[in-house]
Structure 1
């Protein structure tokens, strides 16, 4: 199979990344529905729907905002502006969704933590989306730098590059099973599983961004990496609490 993978259907080119992106949303939501049926949700249906709406709006705004901030020095032509408006990133979506949920919970006065139920559906959704990123090769800005290591792959430009999307797929599989094991073998406070997911994923993305052809703005960090630091600072009380109990 050649990368980028450009399948055709009835003579029309299929945007495989877009197809898998929509599939990721659909399957992740179906997985969420299945999981919610298996447990007694402490949050009533109306409040849960409000939380989902807050997450969706926050994710939409956050994904576009961070996508824009990844290219702050771009020339503002009509073509570039359209491209910027279509730019989005899962990192901004996750953190924006987190803030959207917190705002929604403040409005409806919901005190229960709501994130644990979303953890595994989110991992599934990201996994499917990253398959699309890998199959798109250099057509998606998720490819890695050139490398002479045994992991180098031709992603469509004739150069051997880090297949960072594949690295992330492996990480997501490991994270899925590790969090499943933690959830089944340890007694966690409501909300802790989601915090562990966010800290793990944002920590991974902070590291792997060094393998991508990013623009590094502040302290040698890219926009995504700065967002990762913000996320870790946001959860710093949780980190210190766990470290204190472990000592």
Structure 2
């Protein structure tokens, strides 16, 4: 199999990446519904729906903003406008979704944490989506820099590169197993989601150093600055995590 993987069925090119994105959303949501039936939920159905709505709008806006900030160049042509409509990143979606949830909870006056039930579905959804990114090769800006590392791969341009998405797929599989076990433990409400955000954003902060980013501020990419914002947002949890590890 060659990468980018671009199969043609009955003369029609198949966008595998796009198909896997849709599958990721569908599977993640169905898995969330399965978990909600299986696990006692401390929030009512109406509250959950409001939270999901807030997360959806927040993720939609956040993914576009951070996606644009990765290369903030304005192009006033029609092609540039179409690009702005389609550019997105999961990092902006996650943090935008977080802010959307907090705003929705503030509006309805909900004080309880609500993220733990989303951890496994989000991890699974990103895992499936990243398979699509990997198969897209250099057609998606998710590849790594040139390398002589033994895992270097030709992703479609004849250059051995870090398969960044493959690294992330492995990392997400480990996170899924870890959090699936932690779900069975008696832990503080909301702590799993905070741990997930810190662990995933921490991974993305370091993996950005082996991606060919073209826009930097003070030596860090836009994604890395978003990671810093996330670390500050969850600073109390981060401090507790280090104290517990010590």
1:163-174 maps to which residues of 2 (within 5 A)? Answer: 163-174=163-174
Residue 83 of structure 1 corresponds to which residue in structure 2?
A: 83
What do you get for the CA RMSD once the two structures are aligned? 1.4
Residue 201 of structure 1 corresponds to which residue in structure 2?
A: 200
Residue 101 of structure 2 corresponds to which residue in structure 1?
A: 101
Residue 186 of structure 2 corresponds to which residue in structure 1?
A: 187
Residue 161 of structure 2 corresponds to which residue in structure 1?
A: 161
Q: 1:64–1:31: structure 2 CA closer, same or farther, 3 Å change rule? A: same
Residue 232 of structure 2 corresponds to which residue in structure 1?
A: 233
Unmatched segments (≥5 aa) in structure 2: none
Residue 210 of structure 1 corresponds to which residue in structure 2?
A: 209
Report how far residue 215 of structure 1 moved.
Answer: 2.3
Residue 27 of structure 2 corresponds to which residue in structure 1?
A: 27
Residue 177 of structure 1 corresponds to which residue in structure 2?
A: 177
Higher mean C-alpha displacement, 154-163 vs 66-75: 66-75
TM-score (norm 2): 0.96
- Tell me, yes or no, if the aligned pair for 2:198 and 2:238 is still in contact at 8 Å: no
- Tell me, yes or no, if the aligned pair for 1:123 and 1:176 is still in contact at 8 Å: yes
The DSSP-based 3-state class of the residue aligned with 1:206 is helix
Aligned pairs, how many? 246
The DSSP-based 3-state class of the residue aligned with 1:72 is coil
Residue 118 of structure 1 corresponds to which residue in structure 2?
A: 118
- Tell me, yes or no, if the aligned pair for 1:68 and 1:85 is still in contact at 8 Å: no
TM-score (norm 1): 0.95
Give, in whole Å, the separation in 2 of the partners of 1:244 and 1:175.
Answer: 21
Report how far residue 45 of structure 1 moved.
Answer: 0.4
The DSSP-based 3-state class of the residue aligned with 1:71 is coil
Report how far residue 27 of structure 1 moved.
Answer: 0.2
Residue 152 of structure 1 corresponds to which residue in structure 2?
A: 152
The DSSP-based 3-state class of the residue aligned with 2:72 is coil
1:39 aligns with 2:47: no
Report how far residue 245 of structure 1 moved.
Answer: 5.7
Q: 1:164–1:193: structure 2 CA closer, same or farther, 3 Å change rule? A: same
Give, in whole Å, the separation in 2 of the partners of 1:208 and 1:176.
Answer: 19
Cα displacement string for residues 209-228 of structure 1 (whole angstroms, at most 9, x for unaligned residues)? 11110024222100000000
Give, in whole Å, the separation in 1 of the partners of 2:245 and 2:166.
Answer: 34
Report how far residue 74 of structure 1 moved.
Answer: 5.1
- Tell me, yes or no, if the aligned pair for 2:70 and 2:215 is still in contact at 8 Å: no
